[in-house]
Protein backbone atom coordinates (compact mmCIF):
# COMPACT_ATOMS: atom_id res chain seq x y z
CA UNK A 1 0.00 0.00 0.00
CA UNK A 2 1.36 3.42 -0.89
CA UNK A 3 1.05 6.44 1.36
CA UNK A 4 -0.23 9.70 -0.12
CA UNK A 5 0.73 12.83 1.80
CA UNK A 6 -2.13 15.19 2.54
CA UNK A 7 -1.64 18.85 1.79
CA UNK A 8 -2.80 21.73 3.99
CA UNK A 9 -1.79 24.28 1.37
CA UNK A 10 -4.33 26.18 -0.71
CA UNK A 11 -4.53 24.90 -4.28
CA UNK A 12 -4.66 27.53 -7.03
CA UNK A 13 -4.47 27.35 -10.83
CA UNK A 14 -3.02 29.73 -13.36
CA UNK A 15 -4.67 29.18 -16.73
CA UNK A 16 -2.61 30.03 -19.79
CA UNK A 17 -4.31 31.65 -22.76
CA UNK A 18 -3.52 28.52 -24.78
CA UNK A 19 -5.56 26.50 -22.29
CA UNK A 20 -8.64 28.73 -22.54
CA UNK A 21 -8.34 28.71 -26.34
CA UNK A 22 -8.07 24.91 -26.33
CA UNK A 23 -11.08 24.65 -24.04
CA UNK A 24 -13.10 26.81 -26.44
CA UNK A 25 -11.89 24.72 -29.40
CA UNK A 26 -13.33 21.58 -27.79
CA UNK A 27 -16.74 23.00 -28.61
CA UNK A 28 -18.77 20.25 -26.96
CA UNK A 29 -20.19 21.64 -23.71
CA UNK A 30 -20.17 18.21 -22.03
CA UNK A 31 -16.47 17.77 -22.76
CA UNK A 32 -15.70 21.32 -21.60
CA UNK A 33 -17.54 20.63 -18.35
CA UNK A 34 -15.56 17.42 -17.84
CA UNK A 35 -12.29 19.38 -18.09
CA UNK A 36 -13.46 22.08 -15.68
CA UNK A 37 -14.81 19.51 -13.23
CA UNK A 38 -11.48 17.68 -13.26
CA UNK A 39 -9.66 20.93 -12.50
CA UNK A 40 -12.14 21.66 -9.71
CA UNK A 41 -11.57 18.20 -8.20
CA UNK A 42 -7.82 18.80 -8.12
CA UNK A 43 -8.12 22.31 -6.66
CA UNK A 44 -10.58 21.10 -4.02
CA UNK A 45 -8.40 18.12 -3.04
CA UNK A 46 -6.00 17.59 -0.14
CA UNK A 47 -3.96 15.35 -2.48
CA UNK A 48 -3.63 17.35 -5.72
CA UNK A 49 -0.55 15.36 -6.76
CA UNK A 50 -2.83 12.31 -7.05
CA UNK A 51 -4.37 13.79 -10.22
CA UNK A 52 -1.09 13.91 -12.14
CA UNK A 53 -1.15 10.94 -14.50
CA UNK A 54 2.37 11.18 -15.92
CA UNK A 55 5.18 13.42 -17.07
CA UNK A 56 5.17 13.75 -20.85
CA UNK A 57 7.74 11.50 -22.50
CA UNK A 58 10.62 13.58 -23.82
CA UNK A 59 9.73 16.54 -21.59
CA UNK A 60 11.32 17.34 -18.26
CA UNK A 61 8.58 19.40 -16.59
CA UNK A 62 5.30 19.00 -18.49
CA UNK A 63 2.74 16.84 -16.69
CA UNK A 64 -0.56 15.29 -17.77
CA UNK A 65 -3.96 15.11 -16.10
CA UNK A 66 -6.36 12.65 -17.70
CA UNK A 67 -9.96 13.64 -18.31
CA UNK A 68 -11.99 10.60 -19.28
CA UNK A 69 -10.54 8.26 -21.84
CA UNK A 70 -9.31 10.72 -24.42
CA UNK A 71 -8.89 14.27 -23.12
CA UNK A 72 -5.62 15.47 -21.60
CA UNK A 73 -4.70 18.59 -19.65
CA UNK A 74 -1.03 19.57 -20.00
CA UNK A 75 0.20 21.31 -16.88
CA UNK A 76 2.81 21.62 -14.14
CA UNK A 77 1.91 21.22 -10.46
CA UNK A 78 4.27 22.89 -7.99
CA UNK A 79 3.73 21.83 -4.39
CA UNK A 80 4.50 23.78 -1.21
CA UNK A 81 5.18 27.37 -2.29
CA UNK A 82 7.02 29.32 -0.96
CA UNK A 83 9.66 26.90 0.29
CA UNK A 84 10.08 27.08 4.04
CA UNK A 85 6.63 28.65 4.58
CA UNK A 86 4.30 26.48 2.53
CA UNK A 87 0.98 28.18 1.75
CA UNK A 88 0.16 27.18 -1.83
CA UNK A 89 0.18 24.40 -4.37
CA UNK A 90 0.19 26.06 -7.78
CA UNK A 91 -1.10 24.35 -10.92
CA UNK A 92 0.04 25.96 -14.17
CA UNK A 93 -2.40 24.83 -16.88
CA UNK A 94 -1.06 25.18 -20.42
CA UNK A 95 -3.22 23.21 -22.81
CA UNK A 96 -6.10 20.78 -23.20
CA UNK A 97 -6.79 18.51 -26.16
CA UNK A 98 -8.47 15.26 -27.19
CA UNK A 99 -5.14 13.38 -26.91
CA UNK A 100 -4.12 14.31 -30.45
CA UNK A 101 -1.29 16.64 -29.53
CA UNK A 102 1.58 17.81 -31.70
CA UNK A 103 5.06 17.13 -30.29
CA UNK A 104 6.28 20.63 -31.24
CA UNK A 105 3.56 22.18 -29.05
CA UNK A 106 4.45 19.96 -26.11
CA UNK A 107 8.08 21.02 -26.30
CA UNK A 108 6.99 24.66 -26.17
CA UNK A 109 4.72 23.96 -23.18
CA UNK A 110 7.54 22.05 -21.46
CA UNK A 111 9.75 25.14 -21.80
CA UNK A 112 6.93 27.30 -20.40
CA UNK A 113 6.51 24.86 -17.49
CA UNK A 114 10.22 25.08 -16.71
CA UNK A 115 10.10 28.88 -16.78
CA UNK A 116 7.03 29.00 -14.49
CA UNK A 117 8.67 26.53 -12.12
CA UNK A 118 11.76 28.74 -11.86
CA UNK A 119 9.60 31.84 -11.27
CA UNK A 120 7.33 30.40 -8.61
CA UNK A 121 10.13 28.71 -6.65
CA UNK A 122 12.20 31.90 -6.53
CA UNK A 123 9.84 33.68 -4.12
CA UNK A 124 11.00 33.89 -0.52
CA UNK A 125 7.80 34.94 1.23
CA UNK A 126 4.05 34.48 1.14
CA UNK A 127 3.43 38.15 0.27
CA UNK A 128 5.52 37.82 -2.90
CA UNK A 129 3.60 34.69 -3.89
CA UNK A 130 0.29 36.43 -3.15
CA UNK A 131 1.29 39.33 -5.41
CA UNK A 132 2.36 36.92 -8.17
CA UNK A 133 -0.87 34.92 -7.98
CA UNK A 134 -2.93 38.11 -8.11
CA UNK A 135 -0.96 39.41 -11.11
CA UNK A 136 -1.44 36.07 -12.88
CA UNK A 137 -5.21 35.98 -12.13
CA UNK A 138 -4.95 32.66 -10.30
CA UNK A 139 -8.12 30.59 -9.88
CA UNK A 140 -9.29 28.83 -6.74
CA UNK A 141 -11.63 25.84 -6.59
CA UNK A 142 -14.52 28.28 -5.99
CA UNK A 143 -13.61 30.26 -9.12
CA UNK A 144 -13.65 27.09 -11.23
CA UNK A 145 -16.95 26.04 -9.61
CA UNK A 146 -18.47 29.38 -10.72
CA UNK A 147 -17.34 28.72 -14.30
CA UNK A 148 -18.89 25.26 -14.15
CA UNK A 149 -22.16 26.69 -12.83
CA UNK A 150 -22.28 29.29 -15.63
CA UNK A 151 -21.63 26.64 -18.27
CA UNK A 152 -24.32 24.36 -16.81
CA UNK A 153 -26.96 27.15 -16.85
Instruction: Decide if 152 is inside a domain.
Output: no
Q: What is the 3-state secondary structure (H, E, C) of the chain?
A: CCCCCCCCCEEEEEECHHHHHHHHHHCCHHHHHHHHHHHHHHHCCCCHHHHCCEECCCCCCCEEEEECCCEEEEEEEEEEECCCCCCEEEEEEEEEECCCCCHHHHHHHHHHHHHHHHHHHCCCCHHHHHHHHHHCCCECHHHHHHHHHHHHC
List, in sequence order, every residue forming a beta bridge with 65; answer none if it has no partner: 73
The confidence score (pLDDT) of residue 109 equals 86
Q: What is the mean pLDDT of each run of 10 residues along the chain (153 residues)?
A: 68 95 90 97 96 89 91 94 91 86 76 90 93 96 97 91
- CATH number of the domain that residue 42 is part of: 3.30.2310.20
Model pLDDT for residues 70-96, shown as the tens digit of each residue:
899 999 999 999 988 889 999 999 999
Instruction: Decide if 1 is inside a domain.
Output: no
Q: What is the pTM of this model?
A: 0.89
CA distance 117 to 78: 7
Domain boundaries, position 43: 10-145
The confidence score (pLDDT) of residue 59 equals 85
The confidence score (pLDDT) of residue 83 equals 84
Tally of domains in the chain: 1
The confidence score (pLDDT) of residue 82 equals 92
Amino acid sequence: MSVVELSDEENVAILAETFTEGLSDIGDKTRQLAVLKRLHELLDSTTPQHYIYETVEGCSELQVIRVGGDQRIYCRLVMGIPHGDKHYNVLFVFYVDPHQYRPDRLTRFDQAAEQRLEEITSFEGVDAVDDYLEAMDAFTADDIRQRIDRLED
